[in-house]
Amino acid sequence: MSTTRPTTGTRLARALVCALLTAGCGPQTGGGTVTPGTSGSGGSDPDPQGVTEGEGMGELRKRLGDLVDRERGLRPSATSDAGKCEELCELATSICSVQEKLCELADDHPDDDAYQGLCREARNECREAQESCVRCVETNQNQSLPPQ
């Protein structure tokens, strides 16, 4: 098995993607521990677009499905429009945020196959969305480079 060394551009693209993906996953402002689905002040935790999501598996499953549908719908236009990469990466961040909440619920129900299956599905969707974000950034970066 051979490995290829990433180019400087690829490393830069990955660093940008990592920064975008982790920006929405950091601690809430105001400090303190936040329980999934709450802001620490008794209200529901909004996603990056300001939509409030519920704490239950059903609400999170629906939210995941909606985000995945939006992300997949955006993929084709993002390959030719660098401006769409940011939106694609924000959707990946939101998908991964929902995945974290779903898997935390699954951790609370270790013997429930439905919870475990949804956590696995959400992890796959998060990984695919992150990969799509990276591909978008790399593709658009390569298109903007002058010929050598």
Dist. CA 81–CA 78, nearest whole Å: 5
| Domains annotated on the chain, with CATH | 54-142 (1.20.58)
Alpha-carbon dihedral 44, 45, 50, 55, rounded to 10 degrees: -70
pLDDT in tens, the chain (148 residues): 444 445 444 444 555 555 554 444 333 333 332 333 333 333 333 344 434 456 788 999 999 999 999 999 999 888 778 788 999 999 999 999 999 999 999 999 999 999 999 999 999 999 999 999 999 988 888 776 665 6
**pTM attached to this predicted model:** 0.65
Alpha-carbon distances, residue 128 vs 64, 72, 98, 131 (angstroms): 13, 10, 14, 5
Alpha-carbon dihedral 110, 112, 92, 75, rounded to 10 degrees: 150
Dist. CA 129–CA 58, nearest whole Å: 21
- Length of the chain equals 148
